[in-house]
Structure 1
Amino acid sequence: MNHSGLQFQSLFEEATSLLASLIETPSLSKEEEKTGDLIAAFFEKKNIKTQRKGNNIWAYNRHFDSKKPSILLNSHHDTVKPNAGYTKDPYKAIIEDGRIYGLGSNDAGGCLVSLIGVFCYFFEKEIPYNLILAATAEEEISGKNGIESILNELPELELAIVGEPTLMQMAVAEKGLLVIDAILKGKAGHAAREEGENAIYKALDDLNKIRDFQFEKISPYLGKTKVTATLIQAGSQHNVIPDICTYTLDVRVTDSYTLEEAFAELKNILHAELTPRSLRLNSSKVPEGHKILEVAKTLGLESYGSPTLSDQALIPYPSVKIGPGDSARSHTADEFIYLKEIQEGIQGYIALLEKYFHLP
């Protein structure tokens, strides 16, 4: 094995060992303090200074220079709760048949430790960019104390690489999320008499419109913006005409719309009083002509539009989502990632950055 091969092997072994420690340290969203400590300790051992805000840990490469453009390497260390279908201990890193099992192994532990390995690989090197590694919290709940809380501490970014399991394919666009609460008011009355104004029937008119509704604009990468009714509530007892009906809409918004535009288009056709829960989780798309698109093409990486949400939604700079592991395994019982995927993730990220550094 040559010097380069030994270095890759060492990065891979360190990454796998760190992943095992992360799996065995519970880190549900908002409870990531101990995994934050682990990540900080990993860097401290390597004499790499870190900064911390809440449960977010970040570090800059040795030769950081404010005159150079900056690239962010970001992934998260929080997890969802383990579901009831687990047959293995979700908090035990079990290595079997070339896989490492455990909660958060695939989403997004494998991506995080691969990016940390890559950051360490470039840490001492003279490169034409600044590299920033951020291991962030609350991604699974799009929380305000995650990446959003540290963006104003970071320099302006030319690019963010967000580590999520994509089989090392590159998501160059991602749908945003708009959750809307709707309320319709009627008049209460006795069900046995011709009284009142039934709020459920009013809601039915809206729901029928939603079922058949098509947004006008279609994105070349992400297809249609989609609205789905997901919750409904009305009534207090069987013999009373309900005077209030509430429902909730889940709207997956493409780069063809801002969240405000999608909201306005729905408001135009529905009778209910609509209130958006948040206008934070925007869709994203790499601008045409950005260097990362040329890199993907040169490396033969498959580019696609992602229907699932990540911290990309909160990063106001050009970003791509790419990482080892498979999105289909996320949040499943007996979650795992192949060890080989971590190895390929480290090599893939290094190849991506080296190509990016050397393109004009």
Structure 2
Amino acid sequence: MMEIDNLYKDALGLLQQLISIPSFSREEDKTADAIESFLQSKNITTNRLLNNVWATNKYFDKSKPAILLNSHHDTVRPSKQYTRYPFKADIEDGKLYGLGSNDAGGCLVSLITTFIHFYHQQNLQYNIILAATAEEEISGKNGIELLLKDETFINTTSSLQTPFRAGAAWCAIVGEPTLMNMAVAEKGLLVLDCTAHGRAGHAAREEGDNAIYKALKDIDWVKNYRFDKVSELIGPNKMSVTIINAGSQHNVIPSECKFTVDVRVNELYSFEEVLSIIKQNVQSEVVPRSLRLRSTNISLDHPLVKAGIELGRTYYGSPTTSDKALMPFPALKMGPGDSARSHSADEFIFVDEIKNGIELYIELLNKILV
């Protein structure tokens, strides 16, 4: 109990420090510095790739598989509705306020202190790798995706028998606010840039071919179409038009109308299938921004999930996308805090959630590591 109390105090102090440092996506260098310094103060050897900080347990054994403990230290920018200073980590009525406190600072510091708990232990069944990564909030390519492709990281961490590129022995806990329940599946994210093409003309005469009207027909289809296959864990695919741009001035028929569609894809469809269905039903040109953030799931028979169930944690499918989508091995999304608070004004996490998160992470890993 004394050790948990000390870990909790360290976690709380680190989180307050991180909140005080602006760490918007692609601008996380100062929080990376702070995380490195914190780990080094615990006599842990750290590695760094851009703004990604990582470390392995002291008695790393390449003959064993590995568990990756990962969360991110970048944040979104504060909304204009904030009534508090977003970089001041005040604690009031059991709540720790501040930008990034809930998403995903509480998860990150809980995983860091869990890593410290196991760092010196010998004869573990798995290696443990900690990665505090960047650019999660923008699904950037210089975060976990870059780290997993880095030769130094691969050569240091990959098992001699089952390198992580094969995905055979690796698994991960991805720290995101889930109330410490288990997000075993996650919808993929497909962002589509669509362009309806028409012909310019004078608005006062019967000239031109209005691209806005063409786009509206396609937008109506997006609004009303329902995909056939519905996942038991994460429900149906969901499409939302989120941006529309057209026109240059009031008296010119627009020749082009651009709109953006946010598509959340369940595990029963590939991105290629979804794209084919959309392209068959709309007139507009459809271009996906990326095919990287695909739907993921982890088997209910996986040791991590079975251990969580034994501890009374529930499992569910998540509608939001995280860095779990970029991992070529099974990953469980789980962490203290509540997703409903993420990106909200006056963001907070309950301090008890951090302590409970550390305790549950340690209990979970004890079931498969020791």
Identify whether the pair has TM-score above 0.5, normalized to the shorter chain.
Answer: yes
Question: Are the equivalent residues in 1 in contact too, given 2:86–2:99 (CA < 8 A)?
Answer: yes
The runs of 5 or more residues in structure 1 that have no matched partner are none
CA distance in 2 between partners of 1:338 and 1:228 (Å): 32
2:141: which partner in 1? 144
Please tell me the residue identity of whatever aligns with 1:170: M
Q: Percent identity?
A: 56
Please tell me the residue identity of whatever aligns with 1:212: N
TM-superposed deviation, 1:79 = 0.9
- Of 152, 170, 177, 1:158 maps to 170
TM-superposed deviation, 1:231 = 1.6
TM-superposed deviation, 1:208 = 1.8
2:9: which partner in 1? 13
Per-residue CA distance 1:133-191 (angstroms, 9 max, x = gap): 00001111111111111012243152110001111111000111111111121122222
Pick closer, same or farther for the CA change 1:87–1:184 going to 2, 3 Å: closer
1:289: which partner in 2? 301
**Structure 2 residue 186 is matched with structure 1 residue 174:** yes
CA distance in 1 between partners of 2:270 and 2:352 (Å): 39
- Of 80, 83, 89, 2:79 maps to 83
Per-residue CA distance 1:16-71 (angstroms, 9 max, x = gap): 11111111111111111111111111111111101100000000001111110100
TM-score of the aligned structures, taking structure 2 as reference length: 0.93
Pick closer, same or farther for the CA change 1:330–1:288 going to 2, 3 Å: closer
TM-score of the aligned structures, taking structure 1 as reference length: 0.95
CA distance in 1 between partners of 2:8 and 2:223 (Å): 49
Compare 253-262 and 50-59 and name the one that shifted more. Answer: 253-262
**Structure 2 residue 50 is matched with structure 1 residue 54:** yes
TM-superposed deviation, 1:84 = 1.9
Compare 168-177 and 209-218 and name the one that shifted more. Answer: 209-218
CA distance in 1 between partners of 2:213 and 2:312 (Å): 54
Q: Counterpart of 1:274 in 2: which secondary structure?
A: strand
1:319: which partner in 2? 331
2:202: which partner in 1? 190
Compare 170-179 and 85-94 and name the one that shifted more. Answer: 85-94
Please tell me the residue identity of whatever aligns with 1:332: S
Q: Counterpart of 1:179 in 2: which secondary structure?
A: strand
2:161: which partner in 1? none
Pick closer, same or farther for the CA change 1:213–1:299 going to 2, 3 Å: same
Question: Are the equivalent residues in 1 in contact too, given 2:125–2:368 (CA < 8 A)?
Answer: no
Please tell me the residue identity of whatever aligns with 1:276: P
1:107: which partner in 2? 103
The runs of 5 or more residues in structure 2 that have no matched partner are 159-163
Per-residue CA distance 1:207-266 (angstroms, 9 max, x = gap): 221121011221111110111112222222222222112111110111111222211111
- Of 125, 129, 133, 1:132 maps to 129
- Of 335, 340, 344, 2:356 maps to 344
TM-superposed deviation, 1:93 = 1.4
Question: Are the equivalent residues in 1 in contact too, given 2:182–2:305 (CA < 8 A)?
Answer: no
- Of 22, 30, 39, 1:34 maps to 30
TM-superposed deviation, 1:316 = 1.6
Q: How many residue pairs were aligned?
A: 354
- Of 224, 245, 251, 1:239 maps to 251
Q: Counterpart of 1:80 in 2: which secondary structure?
A: coil
Please tell me the residue identity of whatever aligns with 2:177: P
Q: Counterpart of 1:68 in 2: which secondary structure?
A: coil
Please tell me the residue identity of whatever aligns with 1:138: E
- Of 346, 358, 366, 1:334 maps to 346
TM-superposed deviation, 1:288 = 5.2
CA distance in 1 between partners of 2:345 and 2:223 (Å): 32
CA distance in 2 between partners of 1:19 and 1:205 (Å): 49
CA distance in 1 between partners of 2:82 and 2:255 (Å): 44
RMSD, aligned CA: 1.3
